[in-house]
Amino acid sequence: MRAGKSGIIGSLFCPLVDRGNLMPRFYPHPIIAREGWPFILAGLFFSIVFACWLEWWSLPFWLFTLFAIQFFRDPSRPIPQEEDAVLCPADGRIVVVERTIDPYRNTEALKISVFMNVFNVHSQRSPIDGTVTRVEYNKGKFLNAALDKASTENERNAVFATTRTDRELTFVQVAGLVARRIVCYVDSGQRVVRGERYGFIRFGSRVDVYLPTDAVAQVSIGDKVKASSTILARLPLKAPVHNDEPKEIQPAASNRQVVESEAANAQQDEQQMIEAAAEKVRAAAEREAPKE
């Protein structure tokens, strides 16, 4: 894993966004991601060399070159600008939408996971406008990134960030079965702009996003999504206000009060029974009295 800033060109060009057309005016890695050029140039070199000497036997090298071009493509995308929109950080398919615990902040969260296969664009882009507060790298295994346990057992890199209105979220790059390299270009304290490219994973991987529980998911499991252009969730600009004032509690009755109350009730019942019996005796006496 390699961390660092994206350089002068990236820092100058990434934040420049055409707010009217919802499309970046400049993008630091047009068409092909810079991580791919060594693979593409090497494949092209060997393809040409073997084509000159072995003709059709050079076909596997040409196929590798074409695969590298499609894998490392990094196109510019439309960027929604709604303030409450949390954008998808990667291309792929939604594999998790659930309420769970954010293992990095140890708090309840809405988790949304995007799985990328080898045919997806593998650059990661910031889902929000905000500030990176911390970057945490964890070594781990290389399980199939589509599995739930990959989120906690695989090699991963977590970016802690806050929005402009101080809402906290975590987005995590997770290595996959074939992916053996996670690249992250942001550091603690760095400002990011939605749609700005902040990392890359190769080959086949996953990105987990942990949001506050009042966020509302805009995607479902199985949906195909695109980085920057798909709205992943809606996050209210302000956190809900919780009324933590203790409610007035009526003191419980003491044992003595309970005993006295039960005794009074029993005495009242007994008095009613005596009066009822006396009434029956008077009624019987009246019936037996001689008539004039």
Q: Annotated active-site positions, please? A: 205
Residue 253 in contact with residue 114, Cβ under 8 Å? no
Calpha distance 189→186 (Å, rounded): 9
Cα angle 216, 130, 241 (rounded to 5 degrees) comes to 50
Cα angle 272, 273, 279 (rounded to 5 degrees) comes to 90
- Strand ranges, E, within 165-215: 168-175, 181-184, 191-192, 197-202, 205-211
Terminal alpha carbon distance of the chain? 120
Q: For residue 119, what are its two tokens?
A: 């045919």
Which residue from 56, 24, 52 is spatially nearest to 126, judged by alpha carbons? 24
Collapse the DSSP code of 25 into the 3-class scheme (helix H, G, I; strand E, B; otherwise coil) and give the result.
Answer: coil
Calpha distance 34→39 (Å, rounded): 10
